[in-house]
Structure 1
Amino acid sequence: MGCFPCGAKSNHNGKKQLPINNTFDHQIPSTSEKLKVNSVSNAKKDGESDHIAVRTFTFRELAAATKNFRADCHVGEGGFGRVYKGLLESTNQVVAIKQLDRNGLQGNREFLVEVLMLSMLHHPNLVNLIGYCADGDQRLLVYEYMPLGSLEDHLHDLPPDRRPLDWNTRMKIAAGAAKGLEYLHDKANPPVIYRDLKCSNILLGEDYHPKLSDFGLAKLGPVGDNTHVSTRVMGTYGYCAPEYAMTGQLTLKSDVYSFGVVLLEIITGRKAIDNSRTGGEQNLVACARPLFQDRRNFAQMVDPSLQGLYPVRGLYQALAVAAMCVQEQPNMRPLIADVVTALTYLASQKYDPETRSVQGPCTGSSTPRMRRE
């Protein structure tokens, strides 16, 4: 499901200051008058040092790159539309090209949001936007190509020739995705609420390096004395925080909840919502909550495809992080910075399936404590 808003520069405290496009002024919280209101074009004129300009493409160029959007170039699709693998003739660069489905769930507003967001926000764990096409009624986005597809492709409904992710790779992906979210929450100013964190939006590059993608639903977070942003409920069923789904009140902790669902999927190998299961078993979080109460249940929660090849202590710690993230009360959830600290630690503890031992810095230490506010 889908929705909207905006675009980055640096202020005195080192955070990325997002220039707010005038088109979206009505979406900015009332206490944000102190923020400098700029259009993207003004940011370019001001010569922002950290702004990386995106290219504009003609439809003809992108049609040529995808061999006229031939079926064998089609690599996937989502709420925005179809995604094609292409080769830019001008630079000989392999790219991913998303073509807006004019009858799809997302539209022109989400297209603009994504262009503004990704042209301004840059981090190793965010997908790179190379350019876009707004040629006539055509709307296309051009990204760096992520050769390993999405996290979803490696967790659910695996084809016979695809090996399940091992424990070390799962923790690496979880830590990297959390770092991308931390950048949006803590480095951007005002903070950015991603709003659509799910396995299919975490793309994987070489060596399973994760990057967050699809920013069409991203929203500027609360500023000043505001505690939340009120908006119509958008996102994906199974990942939305309960308070957001019920009230439309969006906070940074809404993203933390969604991350907790993703972390549970990484650990268990189960889908957030699995309609192939019986009624009581369909919702992953609902199934997991009773099991969190007793460590003796933890072994039955781990993905069977790991075949027992995981560190018991690491499993307990990872599930503890997930349990905190999916707390029903948002003020009980940890800050994403503390989630990053915990998962970076777990990713550093390399599990050797041959010896079934863990090696890494500070092996004897415990997972760092988490703050909730």
Structure 2
Amino acid sequence: MKQMIKRGLSALSAVLLAVCMLVPVHAAEITSLAGALDQTARLQQLAEEYAAGQQSESDPLMLTINYIRTQRYADASWDMILGAPSEEFAQFVAGQDSELEQLQTLENVQIPATSEPVDFVHLVAGIGATYKRMPVVCTWGGDCIQLAGSIQGTGADEEGCIQQLKPYFVCEDENASLMPQSDWLADLDGVNIGITLSSGSDLSEAIGQYYQDITDEERAQQFVLAQFGEADTGDREAFRQQVKDKFFADSGVQLLLLSQKQMTLDEERNIVAVDSMDAPLNAVCSLTADTLADMLGGAKVTEAPAQTSESQAGQTESGEQPTQPEPAQSTAPVLGQSSLAQTMQKHAWLPWALGGVVLFCLLVLVALSRKGR
């Protein structure tokens, strides 16, 4: 029985760990964003043609995303979040344009305006996860867990862990870090682009428009609003806590860390990080907050942009304020306190599947705790 429990928990851990792992593969020859987007546009065109010929309803956007991520993010956990890639669609693409397969192994592309590298498949997977309302564990949260795990059990406190991890956080050397710059940008941009999408959106157009004139400040502002809400990034300690609250409360993060025995139940049955991971996890959250604060220059982030002096002076001759345009109504999902709960509303089978996994983890923990008494 003990061996069966160990094998079951190990298998579960392997599946969930793959959510946040980036599998290194040989990079394809496409290195420009324009080239990747041209091929993505062609792929979605084929997805629309394919979907039009199917009796069952198919979303061309998800057909496109799942085709691109199918090699580097090919496991049951990603299938559960994004839906399984269509083998029939892959065969259709192979018959129409076999060169599109190189999108599946594409790594870094350069953003034209800044020459910054962004991992393209990582970006597309993050877009898909955000579109499906599971952004934390599938983007920045998952990468933070990997980085924290690299110093698990060192015995350092949070500030000590920050000093150990800081040289490897958003590192320009792609081979020296579990959180290189290309992953960081893919995480932020994946969330920012993903929240703008709705069924029928053009993936290549959304990515292209986003990168036309994006700045670090705008990127960080959009991301903070999407993930944490309004914030004063100049108050470092308060903003650090805001990021930690979001991270530790995320259901996907909790499930992943439970499966890896990096979270457990305390005496009051609350889910908490194990001692060896508590400081590292808090450290990566603080590094996330500090990096975003630096990108924003410590500015306050609010839903409405601050009124400029020009707009304040823009009164009519009669003394009336000029009419302000109505805010655009977005069809994008709103990322609230529990993205997992929103996903469950869309997929009736998901609560049963996740509930069974969580129950299994809790039963194992209870059994082990009783045995240790």
How high is the TM-score relative to the length of structure 2?
A: 0.28
RCO higher in structure (CA 8 A, sep ≥6): 2
Larger radius of gyration between Structure 1 and Structure 2: 2
Higher helix share: 2
